[in-house]
Amino acid sequence: MQTRNAMPEGGGSLTAHRPVIHGRRGMVACAHYEASLAGLRMFMQGGNAVDAAVAAAAALNVVEPFMSGLGGIGFLLISRDHGRERRVLNFSGVVPQKGVPEAFTPENHSVGVRCPLVPGNPHGWLTMLETYGTLDRATVLAPAIELAETGVPISKSDSRYYEVNEGRLGQFPTSKAAYLPGGHAPRPGEILKQPDLAGSFRILAEEGLDGFYRGAIAKEIDRFMKESDGLITAEDLDSYRPDWETPLSIDYKGYEIVTTGPNSNAFQVLETLNILEEFDLASLGHNTADYVHLVSEAIKIAVPDRIKHGGDPKSYDVPTAGLLDKGYAAERRRHIDHARASVVIGERYTENPPSDAITAGNPSVYTSGETTHFSAADSNGTVASITQTLGAGFGCGVVAGATGFLLNNNIDLMDITGGSDSKLLVQPGKRPGSNMAPIQVFKDGRFILSIGTPGSYGIPQTTTQMILNVLEFGMNVQEAIEAPRFRVMTGSAINMESRISQAVRDELASRGHDVGLLGEWGMEVGGGHAIAADPETGVLMGGADPRRDGYALGL
């Protein structure tokens, strides 16, 4: 993992706008500096990476409630003992028992009280804390409670989220009261207090999971849902449990890439890397026309496999082994035309794809909107990588009664047409396919990198590019995050940051790419955060994305 001092022609400068943060005892990298500080406080109090991760997860609910929170869902990828032990905790929520196709319309599929999954985040946070943490709940949740009670100053980027979603929040009295003080979106510099949210965190700190899933919070959600014609019931909450799972992994040029399995769609990252493995990417130059074309074509090949095969393995036999087989990658690799852009089906299931679009393969014969990502690592070799979400910005738009937190809208990821052959057809107890994809990378069995991003269907694309920035081009974590990015869309469309040169964009257009621009720094291509470890010294290195309010902190 050596850092190069110059970017090959076509990619612009490798000079990062922020330093890499170094630490020996602990490191945390989050999408907001207050959440990173909450994690750092745990290290200062003698806690480990899991304590820091849970503190950061809770604080993120307060400082960026439009991204994640108590009403959301997520995934944990954890490694311990410097990579010798690796596990996944899947707390991605489930469809409530009343969640049948007939319960949904296009109008309530993504907004309102019908589209939330049963929240998984509280169970996920406390399960990881009880399993691997060292500090008590009250200590770990204290920063979130303090932030909610004393208030959070609204940043310029935060204010844009509130402003854009003012109409969404204004539809619901509980949301309007919580997030539109004075009847309008909070402006930069205003202080937003969230006393009801602080109360919910106090219940969680004092009563644990019982307080949320069976006690006062569950009763309030149940009451509010009945009053609002929602779907989640007290029984749904009481019966919810997260799952410990085995991670997926592949070898990529001597590096072991480890991530979450289905119902996470992170296998798209692994399949894309498998397709690219036989190419000398470094020789093409970073973000040159040849490089962007090749990587985008590999992404287009993996996308239809994600659309066709992604889903809940409890409801459908996901052919994971075939999707990640090197022979399957070789077969799919033949679809790449180095001179011409192909057409991709789109970002999600459709009954009428373009006639010339790349279709999904048959891996069974090879058996051989908004989100946040953050990581914490400690000197004992524990690394916790978490991606969590509410779905769209501010989730379903509804604060659950007097709880002070928003509910997710992740049923929007599922299909509601009765009789559809989509693997994501909504069904009670089912988990949707999720694009959350926390990644850890190992070399010779030892941890060297944790990386991930928000970005909806763009998550697997951005994550792939950041991994390649490190492994193929020797960038440090901050450079890998800041480097210009692109995102394959529907058909032959590809959107990219304008820091990728005009000459590159012109060459891509000549190959049939429909090139769109996202500005110099586009939030549409995510907000990555990463922690790396020097394999020789064990020093931890953190990086955070200037596309958001993220910072890494260490000691």
Whether the pTM exceeds 0.85: the reply is yes
What pLDDT is recorded for position 456? 87
* Planar angle of CA 71, 74, 78, nearest 5 degrees: 140
* Planar angle of CA 460, 462, 524, nearest 5 degrees: 110
Reported as half-sphere exposure (CB side, CA atoms, 13 A), residue 275 has a value of: 25
What pLDDT is recorded for position 418? 87
Distance from C-alpha of 260 to C-alpha of 220, rounded to nearest angstrom: 33
Letter string b/e over residues 355-371, b meaning 16 or more CB atoms within 10 A of that residue's CB: eebbebbebeebeebbb
Distance from C-alpha of 438 to C-alpha of 454, rounded to nearest angstrom: 10
Question: Residue 146: CB partners within 8 Å, gap ≥ 6?
Answer: none
Q: Which residue has the tokens 């586009």?
A: 522
The catalytic site residues sit at 371
Task: Tell whether the torsion through CA atoms of 195, 198, 202 and 208 is positive or negative.
Answer: positive
Distance from C-alpha of 110 to C-alpha of 116, rounded to nearest angstrom: 8
Which residues of the chain register pLDDT less than 70?
1-14, 345-370
Distance from C-alpha of 511 to C-alpha of 514, rounded to nearest angstrom: 9
What pLDDT is recorded for position 346? 57
Question: Residue 411: CB partners within 8 Å, gap ≥ 6?
Answer: 95, 99, 104, 109, 114, 115, 116, 117, 426, 432
Q: Which residue has the tokens 């709880």?
A: 403
In order of their start, the domains of the chain are 33-242+381-413 (no CATH), 245-370+436-554 (3.60.20.40)
Which of 221, 263, 258 has the alpha carbon at shortest distance from 238? 221
Q: Is the peptide bond before 495 cis (omega within 30 degrees of 0)?
A: no
68-79 pLDDT per residue, tens: 999 999 999 999
Inter-residue contact 481 to 449 (CB < 8 Å): no
What pLDDT is recorded for position 78? 98
**Torsion angle in degrees (nearest 10) through CA of 492, 497, 498, 501:** -70
336-370 pLDDT per residue, tens: 999 999 997 654 445 555 554 554 454 443 333 46
Distance from C-alpha of 299 to C-alpha of 281, rounded to nearest angstrom: 14
Give me the percent of the chain exceeding a pLDDT of 90: 88
What pLDDT is recorded for position 420? 83
550 torsion bin: left (phi>0), alpha (psi -120 to 50), beta (else): beta
What pLDDT is recorded for position 282? 97
Local structure of 491: helix, strand or coil: strand
